[in-house]
């Protein structure tokens, strides 16, 4: 394993911002990034002139090749450290890790990590399908309809075949995440659902139903990171970054050594090692629920249960 220089406790999150989410007509991807950044800086008590780093994700709707530069331009700032990261659903978490490393290395002192897009109001169905097709391998995936949902469905099917995971256990993930959403003001989906509701929702791709699948949303979020030294002088109690880790296994499913193991199996070990903690020390875990089966696999790969035991772990009410 590559030796990683630790930034444990040397960098802090000092502000957060979140725009309305759901269907928000009349707002662009640039606006969502900028508004989330404005709210995060306001939360931190910082002027935008103090920002010398910005990381963001590409937009499905906006045509900018250098989204981080476009967002910076929109905000009226000229950072000396800037990048557009795209590691799909892991982009936000990876960007925080990259920002912390950049601050620790002295490349920037105050970095904004923002992500925002207007996919729900800004994309027609045809454009959305076109974008999804273009994201897959043009020779071995796209011609056969192997798009995002289908790819994730294959991993769930394999997990079910290997470990006996059931559709009811998958559905339980959707029920719990919806329950969590109901407690959050401004959440996109707030109506309670049951396992039966999930299984009765529209079939998408076996074993997934509509309520097993990721939402399409308009919205944006941002965090502000800075040095531990500067953080002590700001209005908010600093949230120190203890560790981070990344791992990249493959771009295309047909190149995967295992389709039931996620990159979190390695990235979590790197993060735990830097922070000096283990799975048993974690009180709150925020796991991206793009598809219900992915949550079950990540619970295993993050070390909260053994491989193959994610389904029973969820069924027993452990999330």
Contact call for residues 277 and 301 (beta carbons, < 8 A):
no
Please indicate, yes or no, if residue 296 is contained in any of the structural domains: yes
50 and 104 share one domain: yes
> Which residue would you say has higher pLDDT here, 245 or 145?
245
The structure's pTM equals: 0.92
pLDDT tens for each residue of 164-216: 999 999 999 999 999 999 999 999 999 999 999 999 999 999 999 999 999 99
CATH code, domain with 42? 3.40.47.10
Please indicate, yes or no, if residue 130 is contained in any of the structural domains: no
> 3-class DSSP state for residue 212?
helix
Pairing of strands 81-84, 110-118: unpaired
Question: Is the pLDDT assigned to residue 4 strictly greater than 70?
Answer: no
Mean local confidence (pLDDT), 33-51: 98
Please tell me the least confidently modeled range out of 140-149, 222-231, 236-245, 281-290. 140-149
312: exposed, middle or buried (C-beta count within 10 Å: 0-12, 13-18, 19+)?
Answer: middle
Please indicate, yes or no, if residue 129 is contained in any of the structural domains: no
Range of the domain at 153: 145-215+257-315
Please indicate, yes or no, if residue 252 is contained in any of the structural domains: no
Please indicate, yes or no, if residue 135 is contained in any of the structural domains: no
């Amino acid at each position: 394993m590559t030796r990683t220089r630790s930034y444990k406790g040397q960098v802090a999150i000092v502000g957060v911002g979140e725009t309305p989410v759901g269907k928000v007509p009349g707002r662009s991807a640039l606006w969502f990034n900028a508004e989330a950044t404005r709210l995060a800086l306001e939360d931190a008590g910082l002027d935008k002139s103090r920002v010398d780093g910005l990381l963001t994700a590409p937009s499905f709707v906006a045509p900018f090749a250098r989204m981080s530069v476009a967002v910076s331009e929109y905000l009226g700032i000229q950072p000396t450290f800037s990048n557009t990261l795209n590691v799909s659903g892991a982009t936000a978490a990876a960007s925080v890790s990259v920002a912390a490393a950049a601050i620790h290395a002295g490349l920037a002192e105050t970095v904004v990590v923002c992500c925002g897009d207007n996919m729900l109001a800004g994309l027609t169905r045809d454009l959305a399908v076109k974008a999804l097709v273009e994201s897959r391998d043009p020779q071995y995936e796209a011609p056969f309809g192997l798009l995002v949902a289908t790819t994730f469905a294959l991993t769930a099917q394999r997990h079910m075949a290997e470990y006996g995971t059931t559709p009811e256990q998958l559905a339980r993930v959707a029920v719990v995440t919806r329950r969590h959403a109901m407690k959050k003001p401004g959440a996109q989906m707030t109506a309670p659902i049951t396992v039966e509701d999930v299984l009765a929702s529209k079939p998408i791709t076996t074993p997934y139903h509509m309520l097993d699948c990721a939402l399409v949303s308009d919205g944006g979020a941002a965090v502000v990171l800075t040095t531990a030294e500067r953080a002590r002088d700001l209005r908010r109690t600093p949230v120190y970054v203890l560790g981070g880790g990344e791992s990249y296994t493959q771009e295309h499913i047909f190149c995967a050594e295992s389709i039931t193991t996620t990159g979190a199996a390695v990235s979590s070990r790197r993060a735990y090692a830097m922070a000096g903690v283990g799975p048993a020390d974690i009180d709150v875990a925020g796991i991206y629920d793009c598809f219900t089966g992915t949550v079950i696999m990540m619970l295993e790969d993050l070390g909260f249960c053994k491989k193959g035991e994610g389904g029973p772990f969820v069924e027993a009410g452990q999330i």
